[in-house]
Each structure stands twice: as C-alpha cells, then as structure tokens.
C-alpha cells in the first residue's frame, strides 16, 4: 500500500488544518480552480488531496486495471503538502498552483530522491541531485511534485517494434478508456495519469508529437508551446533542436495555469482566456474536409467542430495541405539522438552505460525488453554527429517547413488552423517549433477519444489557448475513462511513433 487513507496529524505541523470529514470520491476529476477554491474555503487540505491521489494510484495504477502510468512516487509529497497547508493558513500563497500535485515525465530531473531515467534501466541508480529549471519554478510556485510518470523509453527512440508507452524501467502503460488500445507516446504516463484522475496536472516533453499524440489518444488537453519559451535545462533530451516541455490537463484553463508557471518569464496565462475569443477570428481547416468529401463522412466529430466554430462567430477558411519533405528526417533524428544521448550518458557518473556503444550492449544483456529491438538506438550509433551535415540537414528541414506553414497562415490570412491530431501538419508544427493545443473532441465507436488540433504562428501561444478555451466552453467533450477491457479485440489501430508520420 502506497499510502494510508488516514492523515497523520503529527506530520502536518502545529498550525496545520485538521482533517475534514469531506467526500473525497469526487476529487479525482476536479479542476485546479475547484481544488483551489475548496482549499481556500477550508473544505480541503493539500494533505487530504495528496492522500486521496496516492490511494487512487494504488487502486487503479498498481492494482485493479493496473494502467501503470506512475513509475515512482515522491516520498516527500505528504510533508510538502503539509508545508503548503501551513503556508495557506498563514496567508502565504506562492501562486495559482499552491498545494496542487503535479506529475513529471521521467526525463525531467529533480533534486530529491526520485530517479531520472528516460525509461532506461541503464540510468537507474543514484538520483541526479538537481532540479530542472522548470521543476524549480513549479516548486517556487507552490506545486507539489507527486512523482514521475512512465514514458516510451528514450522518448520513443528505442526500436521499431516497441509499443508506445513501454519502457524497460516502467513496463507498459495502458489507455484508461480501453485498456488494449494504444495510449501513444512518448509522454504516455503523463497523459494517462491526468486522464485517469491520478493527478490534476502533469508535465511532458515533445520532440515531434509526444504531447499531441498521447493527449489525443487519452482524451486530455495537451499544450506544446512555442519552442524556447521554456528552459529545457535539466531535461534528458532526444533532440537539441526540437525538444520542448509542455503541459497536460483536463481543461484548457488548467493547462494554461501550469504552462504559465513553467515559462522562462512566468505569467498568468489564464487571465487572457476569453469565452468569446472565436468571434471575428479566421480559422483555417484542411480542404479535404469540404462538405461531401470522404473525410467529411469519416470524421463526424471534426465536422461538428467546424459547425461550433462557425456558430461562435469564426470565419472558416479551407486551406491546402502543408507539404512536407522528410526524406532525410531519420538521418537528422539519428544524428540528434547520437549527439544528445552520448553527451547525457557521459555526464551521468552513475550510468551503467557511458555512450551508445555501452547502452546497446547493456540492453542486449538486460532481461527487460528482450522481446523488443533497439533498431533506432543502433541507427543513431551508426550515424555519428557530423556538424556540417547536421547544420545542412537542419537548415533544409527547418526552412522548407517554416515557409510552408507561414505561407499557409499568411496566404489565407488566418489566425489559426485546426486539423485532426494525427496528420502531416502535426509532424511539421513541432519540427519548426510552433505552438499547438490538442483538445478532446468526442469518442469514436470503440469508446476511444477523438481530438481537435489547433496550431498557429510562432509566439501565438496565448491566442491559441484562448481560442481553444472558447471552443471548450461551447463543446466540452472530455470523458472520464471507462477502464474498459476488450480482451477479444486486437484490431485497434496502432498509432505511429509520434515523430514518424504515417498517413
């Protein structure tokens, strides 16, 4: 058992609130604003909330359906919650997330007893002993680091037959809606934990699709900001050029609250959220969805979204598809991984592997993952970093795709574009570092989430959030997961690795 359902008053300090006789069963899916209001009104304490979530993790994540989203819990979480409660009693609130638990993807470093492994057993050893810059901001803002979330090992860049959401350290994370369905990755545990009511907020990272895809697959909000607005110091990165941090939540407002605290220059992003933000906006949508098309008939939830946007006062503009040139993308990605991971392994004194050669040998000898190959790691090992070639590939990839997206936005004079979450453009947008917001948009005939993908120009993060928020107010489509098993089904569509577009 991870935690008792009772609260030990001796751990809370002399000024801590007494435990209230509250109905805790409704806490799982409350929003951050609701939880904060309950705390402000004296109806709930942070200690009670953490206790409840620890018990829920034990019941649903480790036992019961065993969705396996949480790879490690912070043994200091209750003590930190007690500190936040005492601060609240003394009128000292650190920020909008004061006393709110947050889960971190297991490639985000923390200066506590938690491990930082990117899902690899080769990095399981001593804690790194320092906070990533984003973790420091979260702590200063009053958030409680609840633990680490499972992920696709090495941010999804291990092998060709490795399922999304599997790591050697954490095993396989399941989709809480239908347990046999693909939960996508690589920030799998971060998205699943929020969807399953194990934590109200979580932090993920994205190279190419690792926030968008699991957000869509598990029916939560996923926000990937403009690259470089959040410091990635202290993150185990896959790609120096592409990686960014992002937020998972059950509402746009909650995601905005978390993201605002993570920024290099923290700001209250919720203040700009406007339920009428769609009025007068020009919203692009793929011209393959024109009425009467095959896509129109195949995607009723997307068609409904078009109607909602139009009724909200937006002008809908059909746009031609963004073209892509990914001919040398794998070569570039392999070089990126070679550069970033070799450097990281060499920096970890406790690592069982000091470079990719040793990592490959370690994995070959490990009993964990023996059914899965490591073809991508081997590809990276065989693709040494060549600065001239690297710069040449990046310039070609970035310039072409940035021009494609910029031309789409300016030629059509649109404020944003929407699409389904798995599309060509959802691989192009993260490559060039532009912002995106993924929203729940219904359930399909299998009971699996459908989604809506908003993207816009570099730096349009606040506007995108506001438009997504306005849509969410008109069509709140997030569904609590059913934790349903379909043991006779093996025909659920396997989603591509997030960074591999497969139309």
- Convert the pLDDT of each residue in 444-495 to its tens digit: 999 999 999 999 999 999 999 999 999 999 999 999 999 999 876 777 877 8
Name the active-site residue from 36, 120, 167, 210. 210
- Treating both helix axes as pointing N-terminal to C-terminal, what angle do 77-89 and 46-56 enclose, rounded to 10 degrees? 150
Same domain, 168 and 267: yes
Give the other-Cβ count within 10 Å of 40's Cβ: 12
pLDDT tens digits, 402-458: 999 999 999 999 999 999 999 999 999 999 999 999 999 999 999 999 999 999 999
Same domain, 81 and 155: yes
Q: Hey, which bits of 14-139 come out as E strands?
A: 70-73, 101-105
Same domain, 45 and 104: yes
Alpha-helical (H) ranges within 241-328 are 252-262, 294-298, 300-311
CB 278 within 8 A of CB 290: no
Name the active-site residue from 30, 36, 105, 187. 105
Give the domain-ending residue among 368, 391, 414: 391
Same domain, 383 and 360: yes
CB 242 within 8 A of CB 336: yes
Mean pLDDT of 354-365: 97
Name the active-site residue from 167, 186, 190, 351. 186
Higher pLDDT, 10 or 153: 153
| Predicted pLDDT of residue 499 | 61
Same domain, 351 and 445: no
- What is residue 419's three-state secondary structure? strand
* DSSP secondary structure, 436-495, as one string: EEEEEEEE-TTS-EEEEEEE-STT-HHHHHHHHHHHHHH---------B--TT---SPPP
Computed from CA positions of residues 386, 392, 395, 397, in that sequence, does the dihedral angle turn out positive or negative? negative
State the average pLDDT for the chain: 93
| Predicted pLDDT of residue 297 | 86
Give the domain-ending residue among 391, 413, 431: 391
Confidence check: pLDDT of 6 > 70: no
Same domain, 373 and 437: no
Band (19; pLDDT cuts 50, 70, 90):
very low
pLDDT tens digits, 313-322: 999 999 999 9
Known catalytic membership, residue 152 = no
CB 228 within 8 A of CB 433: yes
Higher pLDDT, 312 or 17: 312
Band (192; pLDDT cuts 50, 70, 90):
very high
Same domain, 375 and 404: no
- Treating both helix axes as pointing N-terminal to C-terminal, what angle do 356-365 and 329-347 enclose, rounded to 10 degrees? 90
Higher pLDDT, 490 or 27: 27
The first and second tokens of residue 250, run together, are 């059950």
Known catalytic membership, residue 105 = yes
Band (26; pLDDT cuts 50, 70, 90):
confident
| Predicted pLDDT of residue 114 | 98
Known catalytic membership, residue 62 = no
Q: How many domains does the chain have?
A: 2
Same domain, 347 and 415: no
Q: Please give the residue range of the domain that contains residue 377.
A: 329-391
| Predicted pLDDT of residue 487 | 72
Give the domain-ending residue among 369, 391, 413: 391
Residue 51 is assigned to a structural domain of this protein: yes
pLDDT tens digits, 269-306: 999 999 999 999 999 999 999 888 888 888 999 999 99
Band (25; pLDDT cuts 50, 70, 90):
low
Q: Can you tell me the distance from the alpha carbon of 135 to that of 70, in angstroms, rounded to the nearest whole number?
A: 17
pLDDT tens digits, 59-96: 999 999 999 999 999 999 999 999 999 999 999 999 99
Same domain, 67 and 154: yes
Nearest to 142 by CA among 68, 213, 225, 81: 81
Residue 207 is assigned to a structural domain of this protein: yes
Same domain, 355 and 422: no
Band (10; pLDDT cuts 50, 70, 90):
very low
| Number of alpha helices (DSSP H) and beta strands (DSSP E) in the chain | 15, 13
Mean pLDDT of 143-150: 98
Same domain, 79 and 166: yes
Same domain, 230 and 355: no
Higher pLDDT, 494 or 122: 122
| Predicted pLDDT of residue 294 | 81
Mean pLDDT of 221-231: 97
CATH number at residue 491: 3.90.1300.10
Residue 304 is assigned to a structural domain of this protein: no
Q: Can you tell me the distance from the alpha carbon of 149 to that of 174, in angstroms, rounded to the nearest whole number?
A: 12
């Amino acid at each position: 058992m991870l935690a008792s359902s009772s609260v030990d008053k001796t751990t809370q300090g002399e000024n801590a609130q007494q435990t209230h006789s509250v109905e805790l069963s409704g806490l799982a899916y409350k929003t951050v604003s609701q939880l904060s209001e309950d705390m402000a009104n004296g109806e709930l304490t942070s200690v009670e909330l953490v206790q409840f979530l620890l018990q829920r993790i034990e019941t649903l994540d480790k036992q019961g359906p065993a969705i396996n989203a949480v790879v490690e819990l912070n043994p200091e979480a209750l003590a930190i919650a007690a500190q936040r409660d005492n601060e609240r009693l003394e009128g000292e609130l650190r920020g909008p997330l004061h006393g709110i638990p947050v889960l971190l993807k297991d490639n985000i470093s923390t200066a506590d007893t938690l491990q930082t492994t990117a899902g690899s057993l080769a990095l399981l050893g001593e804690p790194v002993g320092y906070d990533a810059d984003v973790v420091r901001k979260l702590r200063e803002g009053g958030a409680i680091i609840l633990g680490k979330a499972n992920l696709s090992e090495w941010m999804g860049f291990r092998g060709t037959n490795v399922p999304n959401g599997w790591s050697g350290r954490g095993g396989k994370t399941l989709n809480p809606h239908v347990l046999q369905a693909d939960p996508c990755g690589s920030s799998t545990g971060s998205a699943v934990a929020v969807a399953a009511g194990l934590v109200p907020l979580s932090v993920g990272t994205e190279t190419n699709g690792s926030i968008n895809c699991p957000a869509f697959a598990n029916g939560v909000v996923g926000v990937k900001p403009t690259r470089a607005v959040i410091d990635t110091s202290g993150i185990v990165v896959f790609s120096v050029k592409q990686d960014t941090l992002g937020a998972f939540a059950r509402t746009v407002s909650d995601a905005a609250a978390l993201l605002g605290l993570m920024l290099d220059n923290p700001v209250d992003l919720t203040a700009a959220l406007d339920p009428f933000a769609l009025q007068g906006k020009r919203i692009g949508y793929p011209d393959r969805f024109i009425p009467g098309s095959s896509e129109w008939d195949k995607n009723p939830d997307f068609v409904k979204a078009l109607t909602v946007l139009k009724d909200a006062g937006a002008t809908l503009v059909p746009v031609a598809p963004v073209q892509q040139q990914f001919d040398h993308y794998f070569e570039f990605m392999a070089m990126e991984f070679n550069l970033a991971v070799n450097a990281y392994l060499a920096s970890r004194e406790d690592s069982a592997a000091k470079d990719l050669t040793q990592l490959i040998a370690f994995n070959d000898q490990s009993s964990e993952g023996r059914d899965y190959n490591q073809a991508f790691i081997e590809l990276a090992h065989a693709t040494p970093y060549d600065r001239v070639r690297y710069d040449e590939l990046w310039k070609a990839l970035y310039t072409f795709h940035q021009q494609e997206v910029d031309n789409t936005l300016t030629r059509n004079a649109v404020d944003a574009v929407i699409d389904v979450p798995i599309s060509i453009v959802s691989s192009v947008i993260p490559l060039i570092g532009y912002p995106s917001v993924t929203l729940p948009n219904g359930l399909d005939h299998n009971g699996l989430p459908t989604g809506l993908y908003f993207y816009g120009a570099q730096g349009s993060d606040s506007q995108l959030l506001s438009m997504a928020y306005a849509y969410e107010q008109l069509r709140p489509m997030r569904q609590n997961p059913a934790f349903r098993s379909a043991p006779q089904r093996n025909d659920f569509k396997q989603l591509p690795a997030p960074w591999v577009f497969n139309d």
